[in-house]
Structure 1
Amino acid sequence: MTTIKAFIEVQAAEMVFNTRKGSFHALSKIDLQVQRGEFITLIGHSGCGKSTLLNLIAGLLRPTSGVLLCDNREISEPGPERAVVFQNHSLLPWLSCFENVYLGVESVFGKREFKPKLIERTEAALELVGMSHATHKRPHEISGGMKQRIGIARALAMQPKVLLMDEPFGALDALTRAHLQDELLKIVAATQSTVVMVTHDVDEAVLLSDRIVMMSNGPAATIGEILSVDLPRPRKRVELAESATYIAARKAVIDFLYTRHAKDSRSEVLA
């Protein structure tokens, strides 16, 4: 029987940081496989290493031990095949929305494509996130939700194999967040992107994910459970509100988070 090779593989990854107070064991024995086109969310309490794991996949950090692979190649540094969208949009304030996206396009494709093709890629990415109307505006002239759209457009314009998102909607109001979640579902369906996303929001995780990776509390955090979300796509949040599968998945994540937090709190008291 043929075994399907995972697109992203994390094998026995450990992460220890050296601090002024000594070593801090952030992640312990992380094993994770992500298939091509899969949407994975990482969830857990603050300090459980979600962003650290994402940064390892991005190549922004090197593991203390263990191996990470993307498309069967070792992840040793950042690369254009793995685009990152942070909670802070990280747009350059002196550039227009178009120029912010174009900068990323040029860095990846500039050596092998002429300017008209680079412009075409930039315009297509802006259209994909519904921001064509803001082409000539600068970041201070648009809302927080629009800034995040531009950040997503910049990432997608580079045609990455993997889209890595670190709480991209965490700083937005509830209505804007819900709207961008719905837009992200459409974008991922259109691009067939592989996505790994950090979130604190249980409903966001269930709405977006194929699987939810639930992290134990740190230090030496690890993967506690992985929940498959067996909901058909395309997904519509209004219809999901009464879905038994959605409700069960939501309860399973909340139960894990509450049980894990209560268990760790008791351990601290006993210690």
Structure 2
Amino acid sequence: MTAFIEVQSADMVFNTQKGRFHALQNINLTIEQGEFITLIGHSGCGKSTLLNLIAGLLPTTTGVVLCDGREVNAPGPERAVVFQNHSLLPWLSCFDNVYLGVESVFGSREKKPQLAARAHAALDLVGMSHASAKRPHEISGGMKQRIGIARALAMEPKVLLMDEPFGALDALTRAHLQDELLKIVARTKSTVVMVTHDVDEAVLLSNRIVMMSNGPAATIGEILSVDLPHPRNRVELAENPRYVSCRKAVLDFLYTRQARLPEAA
């Protein structure tokens, strides 16, 4: 595998009413094509800011972000984002919400039947074909997130960026969508970068877990490789020694070493 996403010496500084806020400092990260990376850390450590740099939603103050060898300096269809809020247009059906994304990317070179086929295929991929005619207020929170994921996948992005997409869901719905996401990624071979607060979610889904230090001026504290075979089964993994070891390593970083950093500073 070769480097597909590269974050090189990136800093992010925000100008606020109280002065300059140094959110991220000297971020260096290389992601290979087809990897599933999770970003984890305490609130305020810059996880979402780093995701937004990769998405092109924010420009780096210093440093550079590269995707497939090209500098990222604006949003682009090769990098689709799924937010915690599903961001569906309430007056459109589920199909039309997905179709809107498809049309924005492929509308200039494909006819309407081809665009519709892409939208239907994406809905089928996330198991939501039965709700294609419904509007967002007629479906559950978990279903809304599936539609958001379908819209992103329908654009055939090179990178899928996810900002705590399951954070607002109940535990059972979240677990079900995590399992579905693993299946989708296995089929699409997508490169995924996902922000999470959930240690078990990070270990279950990731090839590597990027653990962020406390902010301000947060940076990458450690990167943990999760050497667990695919497909992954959450029930079987519960007693897997490697799973337990990875989970303990992340907890130790977050709640032992990082908890002491403010006192040591």
Length, aligned pairs only = 265
Matches within 5 A, 1:158-177: 158-177=155-174
**What code does the residue aligned with 1:264 have?**
L
Cα deviations by residue, 1:140-178 (Å, 9 ceiling, x for unpaired) = 000000000000000000000000000000000000000
Measure, in 2, the Cα distance between the counterparts of 1:265 and 1:42: 21
Distance in 2 (alpha carbons) for counterparts of 1:267 and 1:136: 56
Paired position in structure 2 for 1:193: 190
- TM superposition shift of 1:216: 0.0
Aligned-partner Cα distance in 1 for 2:221–2:147: 34
SS in structure 1 of the partner of residue 187 of structure 2: helix
**Conservation of the 8 A alpha-carbon contact between 2:160 and 2:192:** yes
| Alignment partner, residue 226 of structure 1 | 223
- The residue type equivalent to 1:49 in the other structure is G
The aligned residue for residue 12 of structure 1 is 9
Match of 1:31 in 2: 28
**What secondary structure is seen at the aligned counterpart in 2 of 1:195?**
strand
2:144 counterpart residue number: 147
TM-score by length of 2: 0.99
**TM-score of the superposition, structure 1-length normalised?**
0.97
- Give how far 1:264 is off: 2.3
CA distance in 1: counterparts of 2:217 and 2:18, whole angstroms? 16
Show the counterpart of 2:177. Answer: 180
SS at match of 1:253: helix
2: CA distance between counterparts of 1:6 and 1:49? 23
The CA distance in 1 between the partners of 2:223 and 2:262, in whole Å, is 22
Secondary structure in 2 aligned to 1:7? strand
**Which residue pairs with 1:263 in the alignment?**
260
Shift of 1:266: 1.7
Tell me the alpha carbon deviations over residues 109-164 of structure 1, each in whole angstroms, 9 at most, x when there is no partner.
00000000000000000000000000100000000000000000000000000000
Query: What is the CA–CA distance in structure 2 between the aligned matches of 1:76 and 1:57, rounded to whole Å?
Result: 9
Structure 1 contact 217–260 (Cα < 8 Å) conserved:
no
- Secondary structure of the 1:126 match is helix
Check conservation: 2:35, 2:191, Cα contact below 8 A. Answer: yes
Counterpart of 2:163, as a letter, is D
Matches within 5 A, 1:51-70: 51-70=48-67
Q: 1:1-57, CA deviations, whole angstroms, 9 ceiling, x for partnerless residues?
A: xxx530000000000000000000000000000000000000000000000000000
1:95 aligns with 2:92: yes
- What is the Cα deviation at residue 263 of structure 1? 1.4
Structure 2 Cα separation of the partners of residues 171 and 106 of structure 1: 29
Describe the superposition over 1:88-127 as per-residue Cα deviations: whole angstroms up to 9, x where unpaired. 0000000000000000000000000000000000000000
Residue 205 of structure 1 corresponds to: 202
> Which runs of 5 or more structure 2 residues have no equivalent in the other structure?
none
Which of 115, 125, 128 is the equivalent residue of 1:128?
A: 125
**Aligned partners of 1:243 and 1:267: how far apart in 2?**
35
Task: Report the Cα distance in structure 2 between the residues aligned to 1:174 and 1:259, rounded to whole angstroms.
Answer: 26
Q: Does 2:72 match 1:75? A: yes
Q: Percent identity?
A: 80
Give, as a single letter, the amino acid of the residue that structure 1 aligns with 2:249. Answer: A
Residue identity in the other structure for 1:183: E
How many Å separate the matches in 1 of 2:212 and 2:133? 42
Rounded Cα–Cα distance in structure 2 between residues aligned with 1:247 and 1:266:
29
Q: Quote the Cα distance in structure 2 between the aligned partners of 1:148 and 1:226.
A: 28
